[in-house]
Structure 1
Amino acid sequence: MDLTGQTLLGKYEVESLLGVGGMGAVWRARHALTGRKLAIKVLDEAYLKNDQVTRRFGREARVASSIQHPGIVEVLDLDQTAEGVPFLVMEFLEGETLASRIERRGRLQQEEIVRLGRMLLDALDAAHTHGVVHRDLKPENIYVVPAGRRGELVKILDFGI
C-alpha cells in the first residue's frame, strides 16, 4: 500500500516511505495543522486477518504511550486507514540507529558505550517500572538522536510485544 501523498484522518500528510520491517512499513509524515514531523507505522495488510498480530500492534502503541520517558519513542495516536489498516503515529526521530552508528564507525569508544548504555538502562528501567519488557531490544531498535546542549539522547522503539 503506497501512502505517499495521502492524508490520514484529515491531519497526517504522508510524505515518503522511511523503511519496511517485519510487521509493516514506516512512513515520514507531517501534521497538517502544526507542521510537526511524524513517523507513521502501518501494519502490513497481510496481517489484517490475524487477530493476534493486530492486537499486538495495538498493544505496542498503548504500552509505549503509557511509559512517557524521554528515552522511549513517543506514540501520539493509534487509528486505522479508511481501508481498515491499523497505524500508529510516533514522533519523528532525527539521527541514526545504534546499528547504523556501529556499522559506520566500526567500533565505539568505551566512553560512548558507557554514556549511551546509561541512557539505555534508564529508559529500560522506566519501561520495567511500568511492567513492560521490551522483548526485541537490539541495535536496530535503539535510536541515537541529537539533543541540543545535552549532546545526544537514546530512544528505544519497536517494543516487539
Structure 2
Amino acid sequence: MIDFKEEVLKHKDEMLKDLKDLCLIPSTLDESTAKENQPFGENNRKALDLMLSIGQRDGFVTDDCDGYAGSIDIGEGEECFGILGHLDVVPTEGQEWDYPKYDMTLDGDTLYGRGVADDKGPLIAAYYAAKIVNELDFEKKMKVRIIFGCNEENGSR
C-alpha cells in the first residue's frame, strides 16, 4: 500500500521553496505595465513564467496562452483531468500584516503570505499531488492538466 503522506513529505522542502518563490512575486493587476504577452502586467507575467518553469524543470509539457494563462500536462494519455487555479493576488494597500506581505513565512504549522491560501498555495499543492501520483508505480488512466490564470481576482479575462 502506498503511504501518500510519506511520498508528499519527500517533496516538502521543494514544494515550500516553489511556493515561497511564487509568493515573492506581487502578482496584482498592473495595467501600467500591460503589453502583448503580459496583458495583466509585468508581475503577473513573472508569476506565469515561474509556474511554467517549474513544470519545465520537472520535465512536463507546458503551454503559455499569450500571457493570459498557462498549463502543465503531467502524465500521458489523450484524456485529461483538469485542475484550475490562479496566480494573481489582491493588492495589499492599506492593510497591516504581521509578516511580510509578499513572502511566505512558516510560523509553527501555519503559512503566511499573500497568495498562500488564494491561490498560489492550492495551485502548488495540486501540482505536487499530480507530480507525485505520476511518479508512483501504477497504471494511470489519463494525464493531469494543471491550468492557471493570471486574472481571477479582477474578472477572469
| TM-score normalized with structure 2 length | 0.28
TM-score by length of 1: 0.28
Structure with greater proportional strand content: 1
